[in-house]
Amino acid sequence: MTLSILKERKDQVVERINGNETVSCSRESLAGAVSQRACVFCGSRVVLYPIADALHLIHGPIGCAAYTWDIRGALSSGPELHRLSFSTDLRERDIIFGGEKKLEAALDELITRHNPKAAFVYSTCIVGIIGDDLGAVCRKMTELKKIPVIPVQSEGFKGSKREGYFAACKAMFTLVGTGKPENISPVSVNILGDFNLAGEIWIIRDYLKKMGVEVVANITGDGRVDDIRRCHGAALNLVQCSGATLDLAKMMKEKFNIPFLRVSYLGIEDMAESLYIVADHFSHIDKDIEEKTRQLVKTELEQIMPEIKKIREELNGKKAAIYVGGAFKAFSLVKAFRRIGMSVVLVGSQTGTDEDYRELAKITDPGTVIVDDSNPRELSDFIVKKGVDVFVGGVKERPIAYKLGVAFCDHNHERKIALEGFTGMLNFAREIHNSVTSPVWKFHPARLSRVEEKSSEVCCG
Ligand code: SF4
């Protein structure tokens, strides 16, 4: 079959041969290619969304709010104000005469009604075009309402989702350092870059507690404004997901001299490694922390490995495709699939960097296709050509898989079962096993027609 790669995108798609391949990346999406990427505003919304006791007001047309409403279902152990999607609902008249007054009125009403700890105000495409002064309105409302009202300069058109992450980090950083960092243990961390989609933060907090590590703030999952204000008192930042919060960690290092470690809570190897590096970091303060961590990992593995081994036998030789937002998550997924006997034949991301793709080329098997900023047509073609059994992605990738009659694992937006930590690895193995071995796929029209095509090729020689 011929593959639908537009000629301008050829260097953003490579087949892994010897592990030294590079992928052209970090550039604007090709016009007309129908990129899977989200806009700048969406990137900001994703990162700030799980701050559960803050008001999130989208200054723009109602469509921007609807598009990101409850975007990741991030769980909260307390308030749930974040799940409401407020919008100034800009109309034609506001576009012509300006929307600042409407924004002021909306903030006034919403802050009075919901009494939030802070408010984030997101700029959208049209606000960037008409030039409403978000900063001025936010300053005025901060004074009037006596809570931080923070502008998020996330005009959708000014780049890709990655710029949105940066705008969100800049907005959050205005809160950091405004609280009192009292009574914080020297063995303490902040958790960055986990969105607590299905309670993952609680699993990780539990591991850290067993190791004797205090968590000061879960900045991007089950987040609280007051925790973020005092999180500069933590001794270490743990950063998961390369794109979303690395900038915040860098800003905190520069201003407050807090070191950071990059971690991943997905899969057995990376989860264990993430705990071991934290133990190593604090071993000069707590002499027992390394032993406590070893015991924790051992106990957890003893509980999950017998079932994972059984699942592995049944999945051996099956093929997976991965398409995620930031490439860092893909590293762990490649290893997790290997652990359950499957090979990854296609892997890509919306916002991977040169460094990310070099790493992917190193850890994948020969023949794996690596793509940057892909589109539905390319993904569909590769999935069919490579005979993929399960596709892992987010909400925009789900229809691609289902139209092709391929099993799908939502790793992002609509999860209800945690996939992180050791328990999460078992959940992941069970879900992949159930989806891949489901009999439903053999009745899917797209699958049936592919089988027919193949058999007619055989008949005709
Ligand atoms: S900010 Fe712009 S690109 Fe993003 S959802 Fe709104 S209109 Fe669309």
pLDDT of res. 450: 82
Mean pLDDT of 108-112: 98
Q: What is the pLDDT of residue 458?
A: 59
Domain boundary among 134, 167, 200: 167
- Give the pLDDT band (50/70/90) at residue 32: confident
Predicted TM-score (pTM) of this structure: 0.90
Q: What is the average per-residue pLDDT within 43-48?
A: 93
Lowest mean pLDDT among 16-20, 40-44, 226-230: 16-20
User: What average pLDDT score do residues 64-79 get?
Assistant: 88
Average pLDDT over residues 93-117: 97
Q: Give domain status of residue 336, yes or no.
A: yes
* Ligand 1 centroid to residue 114 C-alpha, Å: 26
The whole-number average pLDDT for the span 133-157 is 97
Q: Among 90, 122, 125, say which to mutate for ligand 1: greatest number of ligand atoms within 8 Å of CB.
A: 125
CB of 90 closer than 6 angstroms to any ligand 1 atom: no
Confidence of residue 391 (pLDDT cuts 50, 70, 90): very high
pLDDT at 282 over 60: yes
| More confident position, 451 or 3 | 451
**Candidate from 41, 71, 90 with most ligand 1 atoms within 8 A of CB, to mutate:** 41
- Residue 156: pLDDT band (50, 70, 90) is very high
Which protein residue has the closest C-alpha to ligand 1 atom 5? Answer: 64
Instruction: Report yes or no: 354 and 21 within 8 Å, Cβ to Cβ.
Output: no
Co-location of 241 and 289 in the same domain: yes
Residue 20: the pLDDT is: 87
Instruction: Report if residue 386 sits inside a domain.
Output: yes
Q: 448 or 215: which carries more pLDDT confidence?
A: 215
pLDDT reported for residue 69: 84
Distance 406 CA to ligand 1 centre (A): 30
Of 273, 300, 327, the one marking the end of a domain is 300
In a domain? residue 350:
yes
Whether 197 and 321 share a structural domain: no
Most confidently predicted of 3-7, 26-30, 108-112: 108-112
Would you say the CB of residue 380 lies under 6 angstroms from ligand 1? Answer: no
pLDDT class for 334, splitting at 50, 70, 90? very high
Q: Are residues 294 and 395 in the same domain?
A: no
Residues 6+ apart with CB under 8 A from 389: 318, 319, 320, 342, 406, 407, 436
- Domain membership of residue 343 (yes or no) is yes
Distance 61 CA to ligand 1 centre (A): 9
Whether residue 173 lies inside any domain: the answer is no
pLDDT tens-place string over residues 375-384 = 999 999 999 9
Residue 174 counted as domain residue: no
* 128 touches ligand 1 (CB under 6 Å): no
Please report, for the domain that includes residue 113, its CATH number.
Answer: 3.40.50.1980
Q: Structurally, how many domains does the chain consist of?
A: 3
Q: Looking at residues 234-258, what average pLDDT do you find?
A: 92
Residue at 424 is within a domain: yes
Q: Measured from the CB, is residue 125 less than 6 Å from ligand 1? A: yes
Average pLDDT, the chain: 93
- Ligand 1 centroid to Cα of residue 128, in Å, is 11
Domain edge (last residue) among 167, 197, 225: 167
- How far is the centre of ligand 1, averaged over its atoms, from the C-alpha of 87 (Å)? 13
Which residue has its alpha carbon closest to ligand 1 atom 6? Answer: 64
Q: Which domain holds residue 27?
A: 7-33+314-447
- 305: in domain: no
pLDDT bracket for residue 21 (50, 70, 90): confident
List the single range of 119-133, 228-242, 299-313 with lowest mean pLDDT. Answer: 228-242
> Do residues 99 and 116 lie in contact, with contact meaning Cβ atoms separated by under 8 Å?
no
247 and 229 together in one domain = yes
